[in-house]
Structure 1
Amino acid sequence: MSSNSNPQHEVWLRGPVEGIPALLQPAAHALLQTSEELKKYTEGISPEQLWKKPVGRASIGFHLQHITGVLDRMMTYSKGENLTESQFEYLKAEGKESSAIRIENLISDFDNKLAEALAYFKTLPEEILTEKRTVGRKKLPSTVIGLLFHAAEHSQRHTGQLLVTASLLKGVE
């Protein structure tokens, strides 16, 4: 995906992601970094730990679902569309414990949404990135680039929170 795929460097230091407009490179890099970090930070997490909420904080399962859901919703808004009933159902289910949900599936769901996002980014001419878009039922103001950047930075924020939760669960200091 990046011109220099040396995994010793963070994604943003590996060069541009082919086909992604220059202004969306930071968002693409952050989302790709999220994918790598989710796999790293959830290594060794048991199915029982997936829904644990140490010291009352959100579970790893919630963070994984939420990162995927936010990316999906922000792409929808960036297209000038309203959320579907299925997206509202997904939102309501974020963080609801289920023994049927496996960590591998949640990571795979994010990676599939990431592939969809990167393909979408490649279709966007830079001149539309500043076009106005609205968010939610209240139609709060944003732009195409604002929504896509939010999805990327939000994914990194929740990945950091997931790291802390995973560390607590693993007993790492």
Structure 2
Amino acid sequence: MGDNKPEVWLRGKVAGVPNLLQPVAHALLQSMEEIEKYTQGFPEELLWKMSSGRASVGFHLQHLTGVVDRMLSYAKAEKLSEAQFAYLKNEGNSNEDISMKILVQNFRKKVEEAVVFLKNTPEDILTENRPVGRKALPSSVIGLLFHVAEHSQRHVGQVLVTVSFLKENREI
């Protein structure tokens, strides 16, 4: 990814993704590129550092992956598995066995999985109802996919701010 490339949404259609789902693919791919850029050279010892009571970079990376995974399950009309609940419960718990590289790779793999899902999602099911969570709150396929796009962008912004702050202030 060069810095002179336009943002993903300005590079044209993502091959195979239905027209109505192009913004979701663009947002997820942009999130992936930005996470790779913003975490490059970030000190490993700051991965789980919380600053001013805010979440760590490690949390945001785990959460990004987890949200994409959970929203895809709901979009497929599946309930979350015990493994997904365990993952959710452990988001943000520092784990010295998990490196920045692994967290970024996990997010990349989940985004790639999401793009495959998008390619296989017919536009005519986008308004179908999909219950969310244990309370089965109402949503739709398009609602879930839009949420994963905007939610990933929100957390990428938080990663940028946290990385910048911690690197500048070297809060160790």
Give the alignment's TM-score, normalised by structure 1: 0.94
Alpha carbons 1:34, 1:156 under 8 Å: kept: yes
Q: 1:106: Cα distance to partner?
A: 0.5
* Correspondence for 1:42: 39
Within 5 Å, give how 1:80-99 maps onto structure 2: 80-99=77-96
Alpha carbons 1:47, 1:99 under 8 Å: kept: no
Matched, 1:11 2:8: yes
Q: 1:86: Cα distance to partner?
A: 0.4
Q: Which runs of 5+ in 1 are unaligned?
A: none
Alpha carbons 1:6, 1:14 under 8 Å: kept: no
1:32 aligned partner, one-letter code: L
Matched, 1:100 2:97: yes
Q: Output the CA distance in 2 between the equivalents of 1:60 and 1:36.
A: 16
2:66 aligned partner, one-letter code: G
Q: Output the CA distance in 1 between the equivalents of 2:162 and 2:13.
A: 31
Greater shift, 135-144 or 37-46, is seen at 37-46
Q: 1:7: Cα distance to partner?
A: 5.5
Matched, 1:154 2:135: no
Give the alignment's TM-score, normalised by structure 2: 0.95
Give the count of matched residue pairs.
168
Q: Output the CA distance in 2 between the equivalents of 1:41 and 1:65.
A: 15
2:93 aligned partner, one-letter code: K
Q: Output the CA distance in 1 between the equivalents of 2:57 and 2:168.
A: 15
Aligned residue among 24, 31, 46 for 2:28:
31
Alpha carbons 1:129, 1:143 under 8 Å: kept: yes
Runs of 4+ in 1 over 6 A off after TM superposition: none
Instruction: Map Cα deviations across residues 62-105 of structure 1 (whole Å, 9 max, x no partner).
Output: 00000000000000001111000000010011000011110010
Q: Which runs of 5+ in 2 are unaligned?
A: none
1:107 aligned partner, one-letter code: V
Aligned residue among 110, 113, 123 for 1:113:
110
Matched, 1:130 2:130: no
